């Protein structure tokens, strides 16, 4: 087990460097960021040159990358064009996005698994068909459509929520955006759980548990559900990273000043420091989430550990 973890950690190093280098190159290919700073008029050449020097943009890209990575390891992610250190932007954005992700994941776990269990146990019944149809609808409608529709109905027509989330972005305000963000994954979790439950319902150990005279509730939670959750847990684990990086649409719709918003601003303003900084952290989150899932796999199913 220890060797497995170490091997996985070592694998992360090249992935980390490769991903950041790629992002760095991609942002740099887009041209001179200073040109966009002065709006529809030309920056005067002296100021432009001075700004370039200050942001280190006058050096070759490989040198910029090396300097950047060197700084990153000392915790310095550079400065955004509006004069704020990128770490400060991260400090503002990540807590908000993490809260949003937590809300989304909670929805996935609670609603997704509950629906999955119900439908899995009643396969072919009307409940099952209804939920299957509903999840199909959710899966086929893009998030921005669901988001805008819910915002219009709940926020404007019925006035249940505020259409825009305040800068503090408290948990209460994030319930609806979290649900929107979770919707697609939620449908997947439901379907995954359903299939898994339906399959395991006929397993020997369930029959044995029932034959022992255990109460139905205990059979379902302790025997059936526990064994059916392995693929679901895997999916949710991998989804953490995806939700954090993919929240850009939801964040834009509901005015959430999180990671997606900062990334969008960074890309529009071609602010290398912001984009690379945020993506670097996101890459780390992805890698760690994947590592965690793989480790969980090994813990949950010993066969994988030895394979």
Partner 1 sequence: MRGATHAKWAALATAVALAATACGGGGDTGGGGADGVVTSSWGDPQNPLEPANTNEVQGGKVLSMIFRGLKQYDPKTGEAKDMLAEKIETTDSTNFRITVKNGWTFSNGEKVTAKSFVDAWNYGAHLKNNQKNAYFFGYIEGYDKVHPDKGQPSAATMSGLKVVDERTFTVKLTQKFSTFPDTLGYAAFAPLPRAFYDDHAGWLSKPIGNGPYTVDSYSKGSQMVLRRWDAYPGTDKAQNGGITLKVYTDNNTAYTDLTAGNLDLVDDVPASQLKNVSADLGDRYINTPAGIIQTLSWPFYRPEFNKPGQEKLRKGLSMAIDRKQITETIFQKTRTPAKDWTSPVLGADGGYKEMCGEACEYNPAEAKKLVAQGGGIPGGTLRISYNADTGSHKEWVDAVCNSINRALGNNRACVGNPVGTFADYRNQVTTQKLNGPFRAGWQMDYPLIQNFLQPLYYTNASSNDGKYSSPEFDKLVDDANAETDTKKAVELFQRAEEVLRDDMGAIPLWYQNGSAGYSERVENVSLNPFSVPVYDQIKVK
**Shortest distance, CB of residue 80 to partner 1, whole angstroms?**
9
Q: Residue 163: phi, psi to the nearest 5?
A: -65, -30
Is 42 an interacting residue with respect to partner 1 (CB under 8 A)? yes
Contact flag: residue 43 with partner 1 (CB under 8 A): yes
DSSP 3-state assignment of 212? coil
Site membership for partner 1, residue 24 (CB under 8 A):
no
- The one among 100, 104, 161, 282 contacting partner 1 by CB under 8 A: 161
Classified as helix, coil or strand, 30 is coil
State yes or no: residue 151 binds partner 1 (CB under 8 A). yes
Q: Which x/- pattern, by CB under 8 A, does the window 53-82 give for partner 1?
A: -x--------------------------xx
Q: Which stretch binds partner 1 (CB under 8 A): 62-70, 154-162, 179-187, 200-208?
A: 154-162
B/e letters for 179-208, b = 16+ CB within 10 Å, e = fewer, are bbbbbbbbbbbbbbbbbbbbebbeeeebee
List the interface residues with partner 1, window 167-196 (CB under 8 A): 167, 170-173, 175
Residues 256 and 169: beta-carbon distance below 8 Å: yes
Interface with partner 1 in residues 256-275 (CB under 8 A): 256-257, 261-262, 264-265, 267-270
Q: Is 25 in the site for partner 1 (CB under 8 A)?
A: no
Question: How far is residue 287 from each of residues 33, 211, 228, 270, 307, measured CA to CA in Å?
Answer: 30, 44, 25, 25, 21
Q: Is 21 helix (H, G, I), strand (E, B) or coil?
A: helix
15 lies in the site for partner 1, by CB under 8 A: no
Judged by beta carbon, residue 67 or residue 82, the one nearer partner 1 is: 82
Decide if 223 contacts 205 (C-beta within 8 A): yes
3-state helix, strand, coil in the chain (%, to 5): 80, 0, 20
Residue 103 or 282: which CB sits closer to partner 1?
A: 103
**Does 11 interact with partner 1 (rule: CB under 8 A)?**
no
Can you read off the two tokens belonging to residue 194? 């359903």
The conformational region for residue 14 under phi > 0 = left, psi -120 to 50 = alpha, else beta, is: alpha
Which residue, 40 or 204, is less far from partner 1 as judged by CB? 40
Q: Is 163 near partner 1 (CB under 8 A)?
A: yes
Q: Residues interacting with partner 1, by CB under 8 A?
A: 30-47, 50-51, 54, 81-84, 89, 92, 151-152, 155-156, 159-164, 166-167, 170-173, 175, 251-257, 261-262, 264-265, 267-270
């Amino acid at each position: 087990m220890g060797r497995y973890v170490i091997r996985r950690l070592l694998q992360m190093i090249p992935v980390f460097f490769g991903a950041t280098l790629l992002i760095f190159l991609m942002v740099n290919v887009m041209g001179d960021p200073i040109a966009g700073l002065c709006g529809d008029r030309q920056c005067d050449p002296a100021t432009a040159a001075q700004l370039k020097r200050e942001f280190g943009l006058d050096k070759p890209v490989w040198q910029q990358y090396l300097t950047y990575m060197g700084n990153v390891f000392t915790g310095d992610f550079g400065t955004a064009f509006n004069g704020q250190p990128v770490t400060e932007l991260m400090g503002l954005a990540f807590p908000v996005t993490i809260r949003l992700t937590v809300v989304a994941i909670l929805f996935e776990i609670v609603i997704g698994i509950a629906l999955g269990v119900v439908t899995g146990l009643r396969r072919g019944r009307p409940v099952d068909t209804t939920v299957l149809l509903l999840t199909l609808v959710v899966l086929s409608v893009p998030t921005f459509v669901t988001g805008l529709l819910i915002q219009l109905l709940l926020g404007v027509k019925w006035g249940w929520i505020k259409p825009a989330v305040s800068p503090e972005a408290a948990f209460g305000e994030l319930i609806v955006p979290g649900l929107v963000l979770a919707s697609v994954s939620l449908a997947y979790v439901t379907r995954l759980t359903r299939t898994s439950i339906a399959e395991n319902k006929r397993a020997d150990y369930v029959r044995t548990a029932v034959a022992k005279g255990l109460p139905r509730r205990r059979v379902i939670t302790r025997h059936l559900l526990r064994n059916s959750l392995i693929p679901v847990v895997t999916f949710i684990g991998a989804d953490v990273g995806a939700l954090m990086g993919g929240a850009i649409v939801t964040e834009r719709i509901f005015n959430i000043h999180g990671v997606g918003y900062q990334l969008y601003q960074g890309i529009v303003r071609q602010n290398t420091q912001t984009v690379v900084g945020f993506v670097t952290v996101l890459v780390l989150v992805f890698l760690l989430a994947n590592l965690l899932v793989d480790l969980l796999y090994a813990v949950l199913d010993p066969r994988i550990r030895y394979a």
